[in-house]
Amino acid sequence: MSDPAIKVRLTRKHCRTLLHQMLRVRRFEEKCAELYTQEKIRGFLHLYIGEEAVATGVMQALGPEDAVVATYREHGHALLKGVSAEAIMAEMYGKQEGCSRGRGGSMHLFDAETRFYGGNAIVAGGLPIAVGLALADKLSGRKRVTACFFGEGAAAEGEFHESLNLAALWRLPVLFVCENNLYAMGTALDLSESETDIAAKAACYRMGAKTVDGMDVVAVEVAARRAVASLHETGAPQFLECRTYRFRAHSMYDPQLYRAKEEVEQWKERGPIRRFQEWALASGELHPEDVQEIEEEVAREVAEAVAFAEAGTFEPAEHLLQHVGAERRT
Amino acid sequence: MTLMTYREAVRRAIRKAMQADERVFLMGEDVGRYGGCYAVSQGLLEEFGPERIRDTPLSESAFTGAGIGAALGGIRPIVELMTCNFSLLSLDQIMNNAATIRHMSGGQFTVPVVIRMATGGGRQLAAQHSHSLEGWYAHIPGIRVLAPATVEDAAGMLGPALEDPDPVLIFENALLYNDTDDVEDLVEVDIDHGAIRREGADISLITYGGSLGKTLSAADALAAQGISAEVLDLRVLRPLDEAAILATVAKTRRCVIIDEGWRSGSLAAEIMARIIEGAFWTLDAPLSRVCSEEVPVPYARHLEEAALPSTDKIVIAALAVLGR
Amino acid sequence: MGTFVMPSLGADMAAGTLVEWLKQPGDAVEQGDIIAVVETDKGAIEVEVFEKGHIGELLVEAGNVVPVGTPLARIDGSEMAGEQSSIRPAQPEIKTAAPRVAPARQLVFPRGTGQGPRASPAARKHAAELGIDLATVKGSGPDGAIQLVDVERAERMRPEAVSDPGPDLSAMRRAIAAAMSRSKREIPHYYLTHRFDLSATLGWLDHYNAERPPPGRLLLGALQLKAVAVALKEFSEFNGFYSKEGFAASPDVHLGTAVAIRGGGLAAPCIRHADTLTLSELMESLRGLVTRTRRGQFRSSEIADATATVSSLGDRGVESLLPVIYPPQVSIVGFGSVMQQPWAVEEGPVVCPVITASLAGDHRANDGHRGALLLRRIEQLLSEPDKL
């Protein structure tokens, strides 16, 4: 926050926005976990709880014209990009009112209107797509950014390296956001990478690469704004490694044998919402009534999303073969 | 009408598409300065510049995925993969993204990408450059798979493929690049149907791509023995033109399928299954097929010839079906 | 008040073991608090409560395995009373409400006959439509398989009932001439005859037929064939072929049966494995054989490989016959017509139906002594028809 070029003005309104957005993601997903145990939501459910500061901070730097490519842990990204909680919840219920008509589920949220290019459930599979979206923008002369989120596990995939190289080589406007939560499912970073500094890998491809505290929403926002500004200025890609932590299991059915409870508790002490809320209250930017108001607002949104999903309808099975390819004249 | 090679036909098709629509561009390994591994894109770099004739690093997955992303972003990429053997490095992108995004997004996004690649053996390139994997791709819902076997199809399939809102894979059998024929300058062909390349009454020979020539030669040889063979060129491997398949079999009641892919789990197997499902009662003899032998394609010429379908093998198979 | 249930943590989790309660009745809980440990197939997982309140009654003791959705504890003083309806044991409703999978395409599996001549599906279908017996069609396909074109040809050639041309008599005459000349030239025949009472046999037959409609009835000929076939099985030197290498007995009995052709001539198509057929099966074969033979439509297998032959004069013949062996067979059994004749029994002379069986044997393969035993065995078999 010391870079004179870009500053985030932490007005009361902005503080409220940051807390509100993080809480939207948190409360929405807490509800998802509950609904999962009740078998309302099925399939895999990967929760972002603990990592909310990353998507919230980055999203502050993006506009509606910018694109987002995300992973299978993407409920928060979709919500923050502007996909309605209702459409996301209905999707997880498998209802046709869902943002992917019930064809995608938790891992494959899509929304054309907000340029949300999915939930991609192949690790690193979204990176080439982001490169291509940026290539299309470049060849079409459009000044837009494609933000691509992925975990640190992606750094082990060839597509990570190929995509970073391609984006840098062709100077494509991609903001690569690595959400380094230290575990690729259950494999710790230092058990899978010889070089655990992911930003250093990105720097090898001669792109701007920064590491930021992913538990600090303001720090993430500042870094993202700087990266996006640079992107607009140079057209070349930027890389942001956000060091964060997943508070919950990889997916619901995970006894977390691979990490110590103490470690989880230590990270929770630094929880992004708790930390920001405490700071905002202490600094007087927000008052307890504000927090109360935000919580109520969020609870309403979540309740409405659940009601919407409950009231949603299942697509008739006769429609099964739709959306495979265009209807063709034959 | 212009006399041209298959290679020139593909090049003309690319040029025509790029002239007609500035969103169209070509990318792939060595498509620019080298002129294309099979010289298909020779001269295009000079004409269209490096932005639109885009050399890529040897990153099949990333540049195929970038083609998919670019198509999502509203432009019209033609991705060239040097051979289908290398396409396996981008199989993740083709299978998990190109073929699924329309469906996973509930129809919101489409992926109008065209991916071209060379396929097939017969050039003593051994086991990493000679395989025919189009049958694998034909397994995947969500993509269209084309196999132009004639100069006309090579010239005429790319345009409609680029207009298709969904991913289209074009398999060009590398042995065909030097084939020559007279073709209409502005030819466009349909990419939905198979084509009867020769009418016949006694037996149907169903094939596609690089095996069409061998099959037509076999039909000639059979004619010399008084056997009238009908030759169906599938042209489109996905979705299969089942109506054309069933129609020719219903007509001749006997069928040999010629497929350069390996026999087990082959496209030929799928065609046989469709015939059994749809034309069982019209059959007069067991179905038969000529596929590649189940061996990685070897280097030595005589061994490679033994491994691939040949005119002789087709004739023998046809005669056996006819009980001769 | 809410209910804390065994949570579903994955689609493949049907039940869990409640390993430990981390909270006790009366403890305050916040939403998200871990209150129990559940052992699953994947390991122990700490499970959370989704509402705020106090733990009420614990409904399941640690150590129990319970299905997903089972209430484990009551949560008192829940502040989320309004949402209680969504916190409840898993409702089956979601499953029943789920869209049913569209019915699979109706597949009709045609029932194959699994027997009979090899014929293409198209040929079978067409033959069935035309009512043509595929057995009467000669195949031109691979290994003689019958194809559609063969059925079509058979349809064109189909003999009309009235203008049945029958077999080619002159060719048949030539064939008989050749076979019989060879027989008399090469085979040293010997002859035995044996006359016996047929009362028991005919009595049984009348009784049997009285209970049945005409198509189910037996003729004496079927009994004769069965008796001869069973006897031949026991007297193997009479059943088989004589060639340059000498006699070779056949393990199976394929019984040729001489059938007179209207207009002259005869043929001896065979019934394969005659000794293994029931009387009604034999009768059915015999009927078909006679019909087809008189039309000239015997199957190649019916001509080729008879291992011995029976020649029966039926009821309009004479008392006895001395038949000629059909080479390369080595025996032929003849039956004269049944005659009402005086017959001596212990009580004195009676009139009863009598038949004369005869045997022509090839002396290169068998002898008269065994031949006599063979004829006696036939008599015995015929006298106990219920055992045939």
**What confidence tens digit (pLDDT) does each residue in B122-146 have?**
999 999 999 999 999 999 999 999 9
- State whether B19 and B151 are in the same domain: yes
Q: Enumerate the residues of chain B whose CB falls inside 8 A of the CB of residue A139.
A: 23, 25, 51-52, 70, 75
Which residues of B, range 179-198, sit inside 8 Å of A by Cβ?
Answer: 192-193
As a whole number, mean pLDDT of residues A95-110 equals: 96
* Pick among C107, C126, C143, C147 to test the B interface (most B CBs inside 10 A): C147
CATH code of the domain made up of C187-387: 3.30.559.10
Residue A329, pLDDT > 60, answer no
Q: Helix A288-311 and helix A12-37: axis angle, to 10°?
A: 40
Window 177-196 of B: residues touching C by CB (8 A cutoff) are none
From the list C367, C381, C364, the residue with the least C-alpha distance to C187 is C364
> What pLDDT shows up at residue A66?
98
Stronger pLDDT, B240 or B186, i.e. the higher one: B240
Q: In the prediction, which pLDDT does A8 show? A: 84
Pick the range with the lowest mean pLDDT from B220-234, B294-308, C163-177: C163-177
Q: What is the pLDDT of residue B297?
A: 94
Q: What is the CATH number of the domain that holds B223?
A: 3.40.50.920
Same domain flag for B108 and B236: no
Q: Quick one: closest CA in A to C82, which residue?
A: A303
The answer on pLDDT for A45 being more than 90 is: yes
* Domain that residue B172 falls in: 2-183
pTM score of the predicted model: 0.73
Q: Is it the case that residue C103 has pLDDT exceeding 90?
A: no
* Mean pLDDT within B93-118: 97
Per-residue pLDDT for C81 more than 50?
no
Among the partner residues A128, A130, A165, nearest to B57 by beta-carbon distance: A165
What confidence tens digit (pLDDT) does each residue in C35-79 have? 999 888 878 888 889 888 999 899 999 888 999 989 999 998 865
Residues of A with CB below 8 A from C68's CB?
39
Residue C99 pLDDT more than 50? Answer: no
Check whether residue B71 and residue B179 sit in a common domain.
Answer: yes
Q: Tell whether the model's pLDDT for residue C86 goes beyond 90.
A: no
Chain B contact present for A99, CB below 8 A: yes
pLDDT at B183 over 90: yes
* B203 and B124 part of one domain: no
Against chain B, the chains showing at least 3 CB pairs within 8 Å are A, C
Would the CB atoms of B93 and A128 count as touching at under 8 Å?
Answer: yes
Residue A1 lies in a domain: no
Nearest-Cα distance to chain C for A37, in Å, is: 4
Spatial contact of A189 and A162, defined as CB atoms under 8 Å apart = no
Question: With 0-12 CB in 10 A as exposed, 13-18 as middle and 19+ as buried, what is B19?
Answer: exposed
Strands annotated E in chain B: 2-5, 24-28, 53-55, 76-83, 114-119, 144-146, 168-173, 180-183, 195-198, 203-207, 229-233, 236-238, 255-262, 288-292
Asked if the structure places residue A321 within a domain, the reply is: no
Considering only the beta carbons, identify the residue of B61, B73, B108 that sits closest to A110: B108
| Per-residue pLDDT at C106 | 38
- CB B36 within 8 Å of CB B29: no
Bridge partners of B80? B28, B116
CB-CB under 8 Å, C121 with B283? yes
B79 three-class SS: strand
| Residues on chain B touching C122 (C-beta within 8 angstroms) | 253, 281-284
pLDDT of residue C1 exceeding 80, the answer is: no
Count of CB contacts below 8 A, A vs B? Answer: 160
Which of B280, B320, B322 shows the shortest C-beta gap to C121?
A: B280
Alpha-carbon gap: A158 to the closest alpha carbon of chain B (Å): 8
Residue A319 included in any domain: no
- Per CB-CB distance under 8 Å, the chain C contacts of A39 are 8, 68-69, 90, 94
pLDDT at B282: 87
State whether B285 and C141 contact (CB < 8 Å). yes
Q: Is A39 on the interface with C (CB under 8 A)?
A: yes
Residue C83 — very low, low, confident or very high, per pLDDT cuts 50/70/90? Answer: very low
Q: Which residue of B has its CA nearest to C125?
A: B281
Is residue B178 domain-shared with residue B256, that is, in the same domain? no
- How big is chain B, counted in residues? 324
Rounded to an integer, what distance in angstroms lies between the CA atom of residue C73 and that of residue C56? 7
Same domain for B268 and B204:
yes
Span A105-114, average pLDDT: 97
Q: Which amino acid is at B140?
A: I
- Whether B153 is covered by a domain: the verdict is yes
Q: Count of alpha carbons within 13 Å of C26, Cβ hemisphere only? A: 0
The mean of the pLDDT values for chain C is 81
Overall domain count for chain A: 1
Cα separation of A129 and B63, whole Å? 9
Q: Please state the ipTM of this predicted complex.
A: 0.90
* Domain end marker among B183, B209, B234: B183
Q: CATH number for the domain including A21?
A: 3.40.50.970
Angle ∠(A134,A135,A140) on CA atoms, nearest 5: 100
> What tens digit of pLDDT does each residue of A64-91 get?
999 999 999 999 999 999 999 999 999 9
* C141 pLDDT more than 70: yes
| Residue at A32 is within a domain | yes
CB contacts, 8 Å: C150 with chain B: none
Q: Do A136 and B59 touch (CB under 8 A)?
A: no
**pLDDT, mean of residues A278-286:** 95
State residue C286 phi and psi, 5-degree precision: -65, -45
Q: Closest-CA residue in chain C for B318?
A: C142
Task: Decide if A111 touches B, using CB distance below 8 A.
Answer: yes
Query: Domain check: are B121 and B267 in the same one?
Result: no
Q: Please judge whether A314 and C98 are an interchain contact, meaning their C-beta atoms are less than 8 angstroms apart.
A: yes
Name subunits touching A (3+ CB pairs < 8 A).
B, C
Whether chain B has a CB inside 8 Å of the CB on A156: the answer is no
pLDDT at C122: 86
Cβ density class C208-247: b for 16+ within 10 Å, e for less: beeeeeeeeebbbbbbbbbbbbbbbbebebbbbbbeeeeb
| CATH architecture of the domain with residue range C2-94 | Beta Barrel (2.40)
Whether A247 contacts chain C with CB within 8 A: no
Cis previous bond, B77, omega within 30: no
Mean pLDDT along residues C174-198: 89
- Residue B275 lies inside a defined structural domain of this protein: yes
Q: How far apart are CA B255 and CA B274, in angstroms?
A: 12
- Local confidence band at C265 (pLDDT 50, 70, 90 cut-offs): confident
Position A189 scores a pLDDT of 95
Lowest mean pLDDT among A212-216, B68-72, C96-100: C96-100
User: Would you say residue C89 has pLDDT above 50?
Assistant: no
Of B131, B163, B183, at which residue does a domain stop?
Answer: B183
Mean pLDDT highest for which of A129-133, B34-38, C85-89, C170-174? A129-133
Per the domain annotation, does A317 fall within a domain?
no
The confidence score (pLDDT) of residue C296 equals 63
Yes or no, beta carbons of C86 and A38 under 8 Å apart? yes
Chain A hits for C45, Cβ within 8 Å: 249, 253-256
Mean pLDDT, residues A289-317? 97
Domain range annotation of chain C:
2-94, 187-387
The answer on B178 and B37 residing in a single domain is yes
pLDDT for position B217: 98
Average pLDDT over residues A188-216: 96
pLDDT digit string, tens, across residues C155-183: 888 765 444 455 566 777 777 888 888 89
How many Cβ atoms sit within 10 Å of the Cβ of residue C275?
Answer: 21
Contact criterion met (CB < 8 Å) for A129 and B51: no
Top residue of B242, B275, B282, B284 to mutate, by most chain C CBs within 10 Å, is: B284
A141 touches chain B (CB under 8 A): no
Closest in A117, A136, A330 to B70, CB measured: A136
Chain A hits for C98, Cβ within 8 Å: 94, 314
B51/C contact by beta carbon, under 8 A:
no
In which element (H, E) is residue B43 found? none
| Chain B residues with CB-CB distance to C152 below 8 A | none
What pLDDT is attached to residue B49?
A: 97
Query: What pLDDT band is residue C92 in, cutting at 50, 70 and 90?
Result: very low
Mean pLDDT to the nearest integer, B278-288: 91
Strands B168-173 and B144-146: parallel
Q: What domain count does chain B have?
A: 2
- Cβ B57–A132 below 8 Å, yes or no? no
Give B227→chain C minimum CA distance, Å: 14
Average pLDDT, stretch A229-233? 95
| Tokens 């001489």 belong to residue | C258
- pLDDT classification of C291: cutoffs 50, 70, 90: confident
Portion 228-287 of B in contact with C at CB < 8 A: 253, 280-286
Token pair for B221: 């040889």
pLDDT value of residue C95:
38
| Boundaries of domain holding A257 | 12-312
Who contacts C25 (Cβ-Cβ below 8 Å, separation ≥6)? C54, C55, C56, C57, C58
Residues B132 and B51 in one domain: yes
In a domain, A287, yes or no: yes
Catalytic residues of B: 60, 129
B277 to chain C: closest CA residue: C107
Q: With CB atoms and an 8 Å threshold, state whether C148 touches B323.
A: no
